[in-house]
Amino acid sequence: MKKYFNRDPASNTLQYEMARIIVLTFFASLIVLGLVIDSVFAVNKNGDTLYQNHCSACHGERGSGGVGIPLALKSFQDKVSNDYLFKTIRFGRPGRVMPAFDQLSDTQINAIVKTIRKFSTSKAIKYSNKTIVGNIKLGKILFKNNCASCHGPNGSGGKGTGVTFSRPRNSAIVAPALTNIGFLKSASDQLIKQTTLFGRKGTPMPAFSKKLKINEIDALIAYIRSFEKYKGTIKKVGSKTAQDAIIKVKSNYSLKETVKNIKRAVQGANFKLIRVQYLNQGIVKKGTENKKQVIIYFCNFLQLNTALAIDPRVGLFLPCRLTVVEQANKVYIIGINPLRLSSLFNNEELDNVCAEMRKTYLSIIEEANL
């Protein structure tokens, strides 16, 4: 690998640059997600190690939270069962950042659960699997009046992730999606009832034990459980069709003209041109840059703010950029495919934003190629 990346910049081929973009993007994504792969994980049964390798990037080394919820929160530890933790790890929350760890064995997941329990002195609670029966129609009314402001009118959850840019600073978590099939498969009726009755101190979730009667609480739980019949089975979140890692289009113009056309198209699309530079500028000695590889950075700050508020990890491939490469007397426009990257993040809302970003790239390329 070292030998491959130390090649003379002047002799780099288009294939080399494409590979460079793909490889750097791929490994950067893995670092952000905390999914560094090691064959030892397949047999590792040490909960602390497994937690650090699979969970700490989002939940913090000691469960203090971040993109993921704070697992060390006492009110969380007091009210969740080991069964809930196990199923949450196994099934995840499709489309809501938390991935499903179906590659881990039951033994490995149980080891992670034991590590999570070390973050608190609370004794693990156990719940029965008894189904709560209640008036679903009453529950729907109660949900609208008491829950919808945080969990959404249809129970689809709050917006953003667990980091401060995309949520209020005084909130430890974003309200979960109660309609999410991963949640419904993980949370028992009794767990949901206890959380509703006593709330979750340190989060926006209030206690309703003094506001609602027991039959009203039961009606709420029955209504939330009724979401399950509409959600079907767990499906992998991401683009419905396989996506290439990059967007590549042959230009109808020279390299110089192509760069000029892209700059014009960027500004015409209401993006701010940030800078234009040689692709390997700052990496190689000044004056030896490859003049046939030019990268254009641009940004729409409203779009940037919207994307970061949904999921700050999108900053991995922002600001927007397109690379113009000349090779064998042919000029190509190359860009990272946002949809390919968003598929790594298990965030359905982010997928929609990245689909729009891809359309923007293609529109700018098309305009520059007229």
Q: What is d(CA 273, CA 45) in angstroms, rounded to the nearest whole number?
A: 50
What angle, rounded to 10 degrees, do the helices at 136-146 and 214-225 form? 100
Q: What is d(CA 297, CA 25) in angstroms, rounded to the nearest whole number?
A: 16
Contacts of 23 (CB under 8 A, 6+ apart): none
* CATH 1.10.760.10 in the chain, residue ranges: 34-231
The strand pairing partners of 234, in sequence order, are: none
- For residues 196 and 213, the answer to whether their CB atoms sit within 8 Å is no
* CATH 3.30.310.70 in the chain, residue ranges: 238-368
Q: To which H or E segment does residue 333 belong?
A: strand 330-336
For 212, half-sphere exposure in the C-beta direction (CA atoms, 13 angstrom radius) is 25
Residue 323, phi then psi, degrees to nearest 5: -115, 135
| Token pair of 304 as six digits | 């940037």
Residue type, 244: D
Burial per residue of 188-209, b for 16 or more beta-carbon CB atoms within 10 angstroms, e otherwise: bbbbbbbbbebbbeebbbeebe
| Tokens 């007091």 -> residue | 78
Q: What is d(CA 233, CA 348) in angstroms, rounded to the nearest whole number?
A: 16
CATH number for 34-231 (one of 1.10.10.10, 3.30.497.10, 1.10.760.10, 3.40.50.300): it is 1.10.760.10
Q: What is d(CA 27, CA 5) in angstroms, rounded to the nearest whole number?
A: 15
Under DSSP, is residue 183 helix (H, G, I), strand (E, B) or coil? helix
Q: To which H or E segment does residue 248 belong?
A: strand 246-250
The predicted model scores a pTM of 0.66
- For residues 321 and 333, the answer to whether their CB atoms sit within 8 Å is no
Res 19: pLDDT: 53
Of residues 358, 353, 351, the one with CA closest to residue 95: 351
Alpha helices in the chain (DSSP H): 2-5, 14-33, 47-54, 56-59, 74-79, 82-91, 106-117, 136-146, 148-151, 181-186, 189-198, 214-225, 228-231, 255-268, 301-310, 338-342, 348-368
Q: What is d(CA 88, CA 95) in angstroms, rounded to the nearest whole number?
A: 14
In total, the chain counts a number of residues equal to: 370
| Token pair of 72 as six digits | 């060390």
Q: What is d(CA 325, CA 291) in angstroms, rounded to the nearest whole number?
A: 9
For 334, half-sphere exposure in the C-beta direction (CA atoms, 13 angstrom radius) is 24
Each residue's pLDDT tens digit in the chain (370 positions)?
A: 444 344 444 444 455 555 555 555 555 554 444 544 443 344 456 999 999 999 998 899 999 888 888 999 999 999 999 999 999 999 998 888 888 998 999 999 999 999 999 999 988 999 998 999 999 999 999 999 999 999 989 888 877 665 555 455 455 578 888 999 999 999 999 999 999 999 999 888 999 999 999 999 999 999 999 988 755 544 444 444 557 888 999 999 999 999 999 999 999 999 999 999 999 999 999 999 999 999 999 998 888 887 877 777 777 778 899 999 999 999 999 998 988 877 777 777 788 888 888 999 999 999 999 9
Q: What is d(CA 194, CA 79) in angstroms, rounded to the nearest whole number?
A: 7
| Token pair of 333 as six digits | 């426009």
Q: What is d(CA 153, CA 140) in angstroms, rounded to the nearest whole number?
A: 10
**CATH code assigned to 238-368:** 3.30.310.70
Residue type, 336: I
